[in-house]
Copies of this chain bind each other. A is one copy, B any other.
Amino acid sequence: MKTADSANGNAATIKDVARQAGVSIATVSRILNGSAGVSPALTERVQQAVDALGYQPNAVARALKVKESHSIGLIIPDIENPFFPALVRGVEDMARSHDYAVILCNSDGVGSEEERYIRLLHGKQVDGVIFTGGANSDSSMELLASLPIPAVSLDRQSKRVHMSSVVVDNVYGAALAVRHLVELGGRRIAFIGGSPQLSVAAERFKGYGQVLAEYGLPLDEGLILHGDFTYDSGYQNAWLLLEKEREFDAVFAANDMIAIGVIECLAARGIRVPQDVRVAGYDDIRLAGWYKPALTTVRQPVYEMGQEAVRMLLHLLGSSAQEMVEKRFRPELIVRQSTGGDE
């Protein structure tokens, strides 16, 4: 059974189609690409040949010729991190709607892996790359920026490396959460953060500080702990906080997994949320709504950010002028039980 194969046993090529239709390969190419000026008669004959042979144009050969692969690379730390599936889907959907394929790369946020992937993608002649780095990826970004490949930085912003980016206003988002905590009566609000090298972590801390200042509350070093964006880090830092015997009436956690770690730790010590301490998180991962107590958190338009990154990249491809652009989304506060602000 070799329906789709031409006489020589291999997949049909444009030559086979041309022969079958009795025309030149140029004519076939024109018809396939919808170029103007081909007679309906030939178009018809070629179409029939295409169908008969089950011909599928070789995109690799085309890419070599036109120097466009119609693929983009997407580098993220880890698809298993609940933040990323929606982001990836946004990218994929928008890419597909423009007939681009996406090559997915998980770097675990490790610089060497990021660079390895960047080179791989470069070799594969991707038309652009969307990059979400790890905690220390300035040098990866430098490498990326040095290559003749359009790139956009997604959910990250580097001080050192200039690159078009789509981000969300984390200062604003954090402020939303902290303000909510203050308005509910919080006066001694702890901050339990993520990897401080990450711009998103730093910005959330900044938003926290801003709101305290706004309300004339003191910034108490004893209530501030940095870690990383994991459950364990949240749990441990909550533990540390309790060890200090520093009083606090609320916690702003830099993401939802931290928040859950914090709440579990508090629960283990008999401290109730939100009755004794109010806790807010960040990201609105799926789990946030199902967890008991359901998490008050800050939702980011993750899917839309993925879409926008592709839109921006495609725009960069179109305009040879490499002006740098930035798109900044606004997050929103989702109030649930963990702050007791939902009644």
Q: Which residues of A contact B (CB under 8 A)?
A: 1, 3-5, 11, 56-61, 63-64, 69, 71, 78-80, 82, 84-86, 88-89, 92-93, 96, 101-106, 119-125, 146-148, 260, 286-287, 290-292
Contact = CB atoms under 8 A, between A and B. Distances in A.
Given A59-B123, A93-B106, A88 B79 contact: yes
A286 B4 contact: no
B85 A89 contact: no
A86 B92 contact: no
A106 B92 CA distance: 7
A298 B77 CA distance: 28
- Counting every copy of the chain, the complex holds 2
Contacts of A57: 123
A162 to B, nearest CB: 12
Contacts of A260: 290
A334 to B, nearest CB: 17
A84 B84 CA distance: 12
Given A57-B123, A101-B120, A291-B291, 9 more contacts: A4-B146, A56-B123, A60-B125, A101-B121, A104-B104, A287-B290, A290-B291, A291-B292, A292-B292
A60 B56 contact: no
A146 B57 CA distance: 17
A288 B4 CA distance: 46
Contacts of A58: 64, 123, 125
19 contacts: A1-B146, A3-B146, A57-B123, A58-B125, A59-B124, A60-B69, A60-B125, A61-B64, A71-B103, A79-B92, A84-B85, A85-B85, A92-B104, A101-B103, A101-B120, A102-B104, A104-B104, A290-B291, A292-B292
